[in-house]
């Protein structure tokens, strides 16, 4: 492992690369590369501090790329060396893209490969890295969103590796099915729609014009493939963030320009739509989002089935346009060109009923790791009710339930949030 070190204002960054088994239970299946970036205070004792590993939301998104000593990292490096893990399949770890898995051949082979990229494998990676970097000493884990799912699995599978567990917007449902999850989160989405159109009622007319345009004319996105009305609905993906409403509204403000044949969608708008829809650049999110909730059962495209219970979301000329949220639908595997090579494998994964359990309620009930979680009262992505039930099942876990923040609280006010979680976990608050 060759270390590469860079210095930016306020931070020293060290790149680490590890060769780890694709399948920790069967190393004969081959190896993958896993990348992690160490972030530390550049002062004389920065490299001697204990470790904090950060587990990013997703699944399928790389860890943050630090620009300076700000936010939660500023707070963390006061007492830790931070390890920003590019979870397997993301960032500089052996990446998952349609082009990189096609060499595996059949859909069955691709599906079998992708099964190794859930939270259980990520935690096995973290444990292998901890033994190498920390000399076997336990470290603190901070998990945001899906990263919190990983931390909860960590508490179930390898609590001896943790000095403390901190979660933000990421206490998962321990036993609820994917159907339960999407039924609840769709209700949150409908609530966010009501709030959005109360704030920006004029956007309803813009959206109706766009739907008419997209139905009458093919409009291609800069990345390729058509912008369709149901892709347009997916802009609601942003609504769970504190800046999500404004992100979508300002995008819609520049939806049209005058073209040679009249009003048409502007390039700036189409580019903005591309930037807001991460599914092709982060395909693991598309194929593994639902399996994150699978424990001994198949998801069978739960979001698509639960959507049928929400007639309000039907796109029709005689009803208001409404957005969807953080859901994956099987039609996406046709309408997003770079997801098409994963279509057959994604269907295999959706029908797989043999996913292992991720959480051990009996072990969590005996937890001895200091732990604290921020639960966002109106979280659109991680249903509060399920998070509260999980908190009640984890011995010693302290919770901070707040409506001061949305799901992106760690990004919006990370220094304050991390400081409070550390104080809660260690009994200072």
Torsion, Cα of 104, 110, 116, 117 (10° steps)? 110
Which pLDDT tens digit goes with each residue over 132-144? 999 999 999 999 9
**Contact between residue 192 and residue 239 where contact means Cβ atoms under 8 Å apart:** yes
User: Of 246, 277, 279, 240, which Cα lies nearest the Cα of 411?
Assistant: 240
Looking at residue 1, what is its pLDDT? 55
One domain, residues 213 and 101:
no
Into how many domains does the chain fold?
2
**Percent of the chain's residues with pLDDT above 90:** 94
* CATH number of the domain to which 399 belongs: 3.40.50.1820
Q: Pick from 270, 275, 273: which is nearest to 259 by CA?
A: 270
Q: Are residues 222 and 241 in the same domain?
A: yes
- Residue 253 sits in the same domain as residue 328: yes
Residues 197-228 pLDDT 10s: 999 999 999 999 999 999 999 999 999 999 99
The reported pLDDT for the residue numbered 406 is: 97
**Pair (104, 204) in one structural domain:** no
**Same domain, yes or no: 301 and 195:** yes
94 within 8 A of 32, measured Cβ to Cβ:
yes
Q: What gap in Å lies between CA 142 and CA 119, rounded to an integer?
A: 14
Taking Cα atoms as reference points, which of 274, 329, 276, 291 lies closest to residue 307?
A: 329
Cα–Cα dist 256/315, whole Å: 20
Q: Is there a contact between 295 and 357 (Cβ–Cβ < 8 Å)? A: yes
Q: DSSP 3-state assignment of 39?
A: strand
Residue ending a domain, choose from 304, 328, 350:
350
The answer to whether residues 165 and 212 belong to one domain is no
Per DSSP, 6 falls in state E
What band does 428 get if pLDDT is binned at 50, 70 and 90? confident
> How many whole angstroms separate alpha carbon 132 and alpha carbon 32?
16
Looking at residue 63, the DSSP 8-state letter turns out to be P
CB-facing half-sphere around the CA of 99: CA atoms within 13 A: 2
User: Are residues 200 and 251 in contact, defined by beta-carbon separation less than 8 angstroms?
Assistant: no
Look up the pTM and report it: 0.96
pLDDT band at 361 (very low <50, low <70, confident <90, very high): very high
Residue 2 is predicted with a pLDDT of 59
- Pick from 106, 101, 134, 103: which is nearest to 116 by CA? 101
- Are residues 333 and 392 both part of a single domain? no
CA-CA-CA-CA torsion sign (327, 189, 243, 144): negative
Domain boundary residue among 300, 329, 350?
350
In 159-221, beta strands by DSSP E? 162-168
For the chain, the average pLDDT equals 96
Q: List, in order, residues 6 or more apart from 299 with CB less than 8 Å away.
A: 178, 290, 291, 293, 350
| Nearest-angstrom CA–CA distance, 421 and 428 | 10
List, for residues 276-316, the tens digit of each pLDDT value. 999 999 999 999 999 999 999 999 999 999 999 999 999 99
At 327, which helix (H) or strand (E)?
A: none
Instruction: Tell me, yes or no, whether 144 and 282 share the same domain.
Output: no
Mean pLDDT throughout 65-83?
Answer: 97
Q: Are strands 398-402 and 256-259 parallel, antiparallel or unpaired?
A: unpaired
- Alpha-helix runs per DSSP H in 52-177: 71-76, 98-101, 107-114, 119-133, 146-157
Residue 423: HSE in the Cβ half-sphere, 13 Å Cα cutoff = 10
pLDDT of residue 307: 97
278 and 398 in one domain? no
Residue 252's Cα: distance from chain center in Å?
Answer: 25
Looking at the fold, whether 210 and 266 belong to one and the same domain comes out as: yes
What's residue 229's pLDDT? 98
Strand-strand pairing, 256-259 and 262-265: antiparallel
* DSSP reduced 3-state for 368: coil
The domain boundary, picked from 350, 371, 402, lies at: 350
Cis peptide before 103 (omega within 30 of 0): no
**CA separation (Å) from 341 to 118, 128, 242?**
20, 32, 34
Range 146-169 average pLDDT: 98
Residue 184 has pLDDT above 80, yes or no: yes
- Residue-level pLDDT at 98: 85
CA within 13 Å, CB half, 280: 22
Domain region containing 259: 181-350
Integer CA distances (angstroms), 216 to 184, 228, 229, 267, 271, in order: 34, 11, 11, 18, 20
Residue reference for tokens 């770890």: 93
Give CA–CA dist 47/39, Å, rounded.
Answer: 9
Contacts (Cβ under 8 Å, ≥6 apart) of 85: 34, 36, 53, 54, 55, 56, 63, 122, 125, 126, 129
Q: Two tokens at 109?
A: 């082979």
Question: CA 422 to CA 373: how far, in whole Å?
Answer: 10
119 and 93 fall within a common domain: yes
Range list of β-strands (E), 267-381: 371-376
pLDDT at 237 over 90: yes
Based on the fold, state whether residues 130 and 266 are members of the same structural domain: no
């Amino acid at each position: 492992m060759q270390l590469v070190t860079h210095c930016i204002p306020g931070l020293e960054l060290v790149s680490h690369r590890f060769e780890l088994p694709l399948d920790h239970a069967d190393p004969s299946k081959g190896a993958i590369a896993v990348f992690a970036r160490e972030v530390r205070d550049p002062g004389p004792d920065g490299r001697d501090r204990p470790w904090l590993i950060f587990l990013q939301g997703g699944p399928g998104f790389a860890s943050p790329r630090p620009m300076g000593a700000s936010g939660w990292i500023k707070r963390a490096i006061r007492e830790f060396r931070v390890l920003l893990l590019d979870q397997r399949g993301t960032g500089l770890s052996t990446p998952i893209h349609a082009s990189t898995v096609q060499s595996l051949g059949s859909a069955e082979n691709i599906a079998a490969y992708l099964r190794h990229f859930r939270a259980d494998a990520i935690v096995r990676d973290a444990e292998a890295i901890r033994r190498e970097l920390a000399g076997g000493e336990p470290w603190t884990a901070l998990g945001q969103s899906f990263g919190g799912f990983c931390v909860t699995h960590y508490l179930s599978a390898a609590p001896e590796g943790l000095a403390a567990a901190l979660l933000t917007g990421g206490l998962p449902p321990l036993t609820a099915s994917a159907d339960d999850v999407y039924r609840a989160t769709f209700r949150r989405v409908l609530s966010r729609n009501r709030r959005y159109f109360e704030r920006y009622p004029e956007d309803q007319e813009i959206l109706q014009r766009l739907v008419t345009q997209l139905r009458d004319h093919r409009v291609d996105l800069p990345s390729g493939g058509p912008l369709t009305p149901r892709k347009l609905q997916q802009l609601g993906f942003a609504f769970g963030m504190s800046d999500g409403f404004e992100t979508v509204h300002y995008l819609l403000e520049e939806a049209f320009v005058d073209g040679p044949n009249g009003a048409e969608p502007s390039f700036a708008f189409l580019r903005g739509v591309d930037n807001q829809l991460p599914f092709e650049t982060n395909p693991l999110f598309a194929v593994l989002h639902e399996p994150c909730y699978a424990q001994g059962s198949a998801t069978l495209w739960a979001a698509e089935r639960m959507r049928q219970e929400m007639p309000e979301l039907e796109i029709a000329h005689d009803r208001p346009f409404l957005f969807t949220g953080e859901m994956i639908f099987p039609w996406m595997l046709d309408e997003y060109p770079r997801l098409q090579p994963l279509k057959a494998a994604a269907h295999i994964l959706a029908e797989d009923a043999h996913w292992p359990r991720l959480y051990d309620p009996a072990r969590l009930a005996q937890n001895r790791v200091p732990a604290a979680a921020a639960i966002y009262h109106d979280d659109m992505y991680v249903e509060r009710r399920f998070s509260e039930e999980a908190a009640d099942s984890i011995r010693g876990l302290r919770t901070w339930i707040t409506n001061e923040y949305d799901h992106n609280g760690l990004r919006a006010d990370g220094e304050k949030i991390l400081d409070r979680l550390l104080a809660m976990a260690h009994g200072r608050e």
